[in-house]
Amino acid sequence: MQERILAWEGCLNVRDLGGLPTGDGRETRFGRVVRSDSPGLLTAAGWRALVGYGVTTIVDLRRPVERAEDPSREPAVEVNHVSLLGADDEARWTRLEALAAAAPSPAASTAVIYRDVLAVNGAELAEAVGAVAEARPGAVLVHCVGGKDRTALVTALLLRLAGVPTAVIAADYALSEVYLEPRHAEWIASARDDAERRRFERISATPADAMQTVLDEVDDEHDGVEAYLRTHGLSDDVLQRARARLVDGP
């Protein structure tokens, strides 16, 4: 059986979106879409592993300021930049941080943020899905910084297009907390006080219930991911090409 978890030296949170069941009894295909934390963390050996895996296109969801210090890499891999959160908006994030901090659980806190991104950044989410759909032949790598939030939303939309059930997507999403734990443990240990520690712990979490909740809400409120993305500008042809990245046939 092919392994979904990929060991690319320097990154902690790399996995292929293949091998997941769809609602019609198929499985998503390996070697088509990979999700990860930032490839800027990769060692030279890790970058060779990325190229060797067949990655020909990277969809980078970070803001320009987050990309500024990345090392230059092999030009054979095309990079498409989609700043998923749009323009910096300090007032927005101050408001959301207060709402997330007041939420009764990590799942509720995370859902607050994801609902806002789905409501405000639909055009950017559609652009990212479109970039995967239109990428040249080969594997597409989708990443942000930790590969756990922005990356999770884009890959969740792709998996729903492919027909993967929300519960399966949510379980896969929860794996990020496991694989990022060594990095997050250092971050949490650096907290200056209990309040900051609790905030770091909340931000580090990837509770399955949060992803399940927001995907179910997209189904209920937008008549599904396909309709949501169509509303934000993707044509039926592009949606079909995005789906075909992960599943073949009708």
Q: What is the CATH number of the domain that holds 24?
A: 3.90.190.10
Q: Is residue 7 part of a domain?
A: no
**Is residue 208 assigned to a domain?**
yes
- Asked which of 50-54, 151-155, 189-193, 208-212 is least confident by mean pLDDT, the reply is 189-193
Shortest CA distance to 129 belongs to which of 247, 213, 245, 21? 245
Mean pLDDT for 31-49 is 96
**For residue 183, what pLDDT is reported?**
93
| 96 occurs within a structural domain | yes
Domain that residue 20 falls in: 15-243
Overall number of domains in the chain: 1
The per-residue pLDDT for range 48-96, each reduced to its tens digit, is 999 999 999 999 999 998 998 887 777 789 999 999 998 888 899 899 9
Q: Give Cα 25 distance to the centre of its chain.
A: 24
Question: Is 145 a residue whose pLDDT tops 90?
Answer: yes
Is 5 part of a structural domain of the chain?
A: no
- Residue 217 forms part of a structural domain: yes
Cβ–Cβ under 8 Å, residues 1 and 137: no
Q: Which of 14, 13, 32, 20 is nearest to 135 (CA)?
A: 32
Residue 230, H or E segment: helix 225-231
Q: Choose among 237, 203, 222: nearest CA to 160.
A: 222
Q: What is the DSSP string of 29-45?
A: PTTSEEEES-GGG--HH
Residue type, 102: A
Look at residue 16 and give its three-state secondary structure.
Answer: strand
SS3 content of the chain, % helix, strand, coil (to 5): 55, 10, 35
10 within domain boundaries? no
Tens-place pLDDT, residues 210-224: 999 999 999 999 999
| Residue 2 domain flag | no
Residue 1 belongs to some domain of the structure: no
